[in-house]
């Protein structure tokens, strides 16, 4: 597995282009199963997860063509079986369940894999499919769903930690071809869910209420083809913003959507960061001094759990004591031990991490445990004195397009060490 070697202490300065959103493009690609017509998806990031999703679509019988940042998919014929060998690689692959069931009235999908960040049950996915009239069971590691027909119904998708993003996506896709009207209460409001809804409407679906907790979907008999441009990745944007500030630099984000980043921008401003919005660009730099902050991760529009780890690295460099409380995933502090190897002072109390600001971090060999933890460790390595080596960086390639190349353009001293 590849590693990253980072020589810390260099401020990041300059502009960085924000790529298309990973968490939007995966369900949008899955949604192409709903139609026999070709779909052209633009602003697609070059990520390992995108390649995996295309492989899953091809295994189901669709044809995919990747040309730069454009992916063309045509699912003229599809099979109903999504195999473990591909689905195990990422959680997002579960979103083929809804469109397969809608299109074929049956689907067998392996239980998914992905980052080890806590329990992510499929009960709400099952509940959504059953609300549309499907029979669902889990057997031999597979979710098996079938129905003579799908009929619109009412469902409540609130879970232990709030609405389910992927469950909402699956429900939306399945309901597009169900007979009658479906009402989803406590639906996820994330920008990526909205983007999926816009794509579905582009191919002929009738979805109202996008961006609100209540979605109303009127089923149609068939869907067609369309072109769609994926929204920019708000998590990537937040990662580069934090990296610039914590290294005492100034980073400008090109293509980022400030309306998708309100909670992050607000907390950075509260901590003493200057944020300038002008001419379609976002610029982040330190003010006169940084201040400790308290953060609780929440469903959108709250502070995103996918920025929690990066923000924790930021907190190690702010004077005083900061507290970050994780309310979405119970096992999302796996990066704490690795940050402590670099000299961070962090204690865990239940769902909260208490972070004491320190004078400096020191380079060491550390190991990435999941996608966003990997990003947090990269930021820490750029702050730390000396050289930091981060092993198992394949997670980064799943969710960040050309991360090391973009960091180098901003002035970071980072080198990818390839291993056979």
CATH number, domain with residue 392: 3.65.10.10
239 CB neighbour count, 10 Å cutoff: 27
Helix, strand, coil share of the chain (percent; to 5): 35, 30, 35
Q: Which two tokens stand for residue 199?
A: 């794509």
69 and 198 in a single domain? The answer is: yes
28 and 106 in a single domain? The answer is: yes
405 and 263 in a single domain? The answer is: yes
Q: What angle do CA 384, 233, 120 make, to 5 degrees?
A: 85
Per the CB < 8 A criterion, the answer to whether 268 and 291 are in contact is no
Q: Of the residues 229, 253, 281, which one is the last residue of a structural domain?
A: 229
Residue 324, strand partner residues: 295, 353
50 and 154 in a single domain? The answer is: yes
218 and 308 in a single domain? The answer is: no
Q: How far apart are CA 389 and CA 6, in angstroms?
A: 6
Range of the domain at 218: 22-229
Residue 306's region, left for phi above 0, alpha for psi from -120 to 50, else beta, is alpha
Q: Of the residues 229, 257, 276, which one is the last residue of a structural domain?
A: 229
Q: Of the residues 200, 229, 258, which one is the last residue of a structural domain?
A: 229
Does the annotation count 39 as an active-site position? no
211 and 253 in a single domain? The answer is: no
Residue tagged active-site, from 39, 54, 115, 189: 115
| CB-based burial, 323-346: b 16+ in 10 Å, e otherwise | ebbbbbbeebbbbbebbebbbbeb
Q: Return the CA Rg of the chain.
A: 21
Number of domains in the chain: 2
Q: Give the pLDDT of residue 116.
A: 43
* Strand, coil or helix: 79: coil
Q: Give the pLDDT of residue 418.
A: 86
pTM: 0.95
215 and 274 in a single domain? The answer is: no
222 and 253 in a single domain? The answer is: no
Residue 187 burial by CB count (10 A; 0-12/13-18/19+): exposed, middle or buried? Answer: buried
Q: 255 vs 9, 132, 251, CA distance in Å? A: 27, 38, 13
Angle between the N-to-C axes of helices 165-175 and 123-131, in degrees from 0 to 180, rounded to the nearest 10: 20
* Strand, coil or helix: 145: strand
174 and 28 in a single domain? The answer is: yes
242 and 155 in a single domain? The answer is: no
155 and 254 in a single domain? The answer is: no
Q: Which two tokens stand for residue 16?
A: 């960085």
pLDDT truncated to tens, each residue of the chain (420 aa)? 789 999 999 999 999 999 999 999 999 999 999 999 999 999 999 999 999 999 999 999 999 999 999 999 999 999 999 887 887 777 678 999 999 999 999 999 988 754 444 344 688 999 999 999 999 999 988 899 999 999 999 999 998 778 999 999 999 999 999 999 999 999 999 999 999 999 999 999 999 999 999 999 999 999 999 999 999 999 999 999 999 999 999 999 999 999 999 999 999 999 999 999 988 899 999 988 899 999 999 999 999 999 999 999 999 999 999 999 999 976 679 899 999 999 999 999 999 999 999 879 999 999 988 888 899 999 999 999 999 999 989 889 889 999 999 999 999 999 999 876
Q: How far apart are CA 319 and CA 185, in angstroms?
A: 42
255 and 333 in a single domain? The answer is: yes
Q: Which two tokens stand for residue 386?
A: 């000396």
Q: How far apart are CA 378 and CA 366, in angstroms?
A: 10
């Amino acid at each position: 597995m590849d590693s990253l070697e980072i020589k810390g202490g260099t401020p990041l300065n300059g502009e960085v282009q924000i790529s298309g959103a990973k968490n939007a493009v995966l369900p949008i690609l899955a949604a192409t199963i709903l139609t026999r017509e070709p779909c052209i998806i633009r602003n697609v990031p070059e990520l390992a997860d995108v390649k995996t999703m295309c492989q899953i679509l091809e295994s189901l019988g669709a044809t995919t063509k990747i040309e730069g940042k454009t992916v063309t998919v045509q699912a003229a014929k599809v099979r109903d079986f999504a195999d473990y060998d591909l689905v195990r690689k990422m959680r997002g692959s579960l979103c083929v369940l809804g469109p397969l069931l809608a299109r074929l009235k049956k689907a067998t999908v392996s239980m998914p894999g992905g980052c080890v960040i806590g329990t992510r049950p499929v009960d709400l996915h099952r509940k959504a499919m059953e609300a549309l009239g499907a029979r669902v069971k889990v057997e031999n590691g597979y979710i098996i769903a079938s129905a003579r027909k799908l009929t619109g119904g009412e469902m409540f998708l609130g879970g232990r930690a709030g609405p389910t993003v992927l469950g909402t996506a699956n429900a939306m896709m399945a309901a597009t071809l169900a007979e009658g009207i479906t009402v989803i209460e406590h639906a996820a409001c994330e920008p990526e869910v909205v983007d999926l809804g816009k794509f579905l409407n582009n191919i002929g679906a009738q979805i109202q209420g996008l961006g609100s907790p209540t979605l109303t979907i009127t089923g149609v008999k068939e869907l067609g083809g369309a072109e769609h441009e994926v929204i920019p990745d708000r998590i990537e944007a937040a990662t580069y913003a934090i990296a610039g500030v914590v290294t005492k630099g100034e980073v400008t984000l090109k293509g980022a959507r400030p309306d998708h980043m309100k909670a992050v921008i607000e907390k950075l401003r509260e901590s003493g960061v200057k944020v300038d919005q002008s001419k379609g660009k976002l610029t982040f730099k330190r003010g006169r001094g940084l201040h400790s902050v308290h953060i609780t991760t929440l469903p959108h529009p709250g502070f995103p759990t996918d920025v929690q780890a990066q923000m924790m690295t930021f907190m190690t460099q702010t004077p005083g004591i900061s507290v970050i409380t994780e309310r979405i995933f119970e096992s999302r502090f796996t990066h704490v031990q690795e940050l402590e190897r670099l000299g961070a002072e962090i204690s865990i109390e239940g769902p909260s991490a208490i972070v004491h600001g320190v004078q400096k971090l020191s380079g060491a060999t550390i190991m990435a445990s999941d996608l966003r933890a990997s990003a947090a460790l990269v930021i820490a390595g750029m702050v730390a004195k000396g050289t930091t080596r981060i092993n198992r960086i394949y997670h980064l390639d799943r969710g960040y397009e050309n991360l090391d190349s973009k960091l180098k353009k901003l002035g970071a001293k980072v080198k990818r060490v390839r291993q056979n």
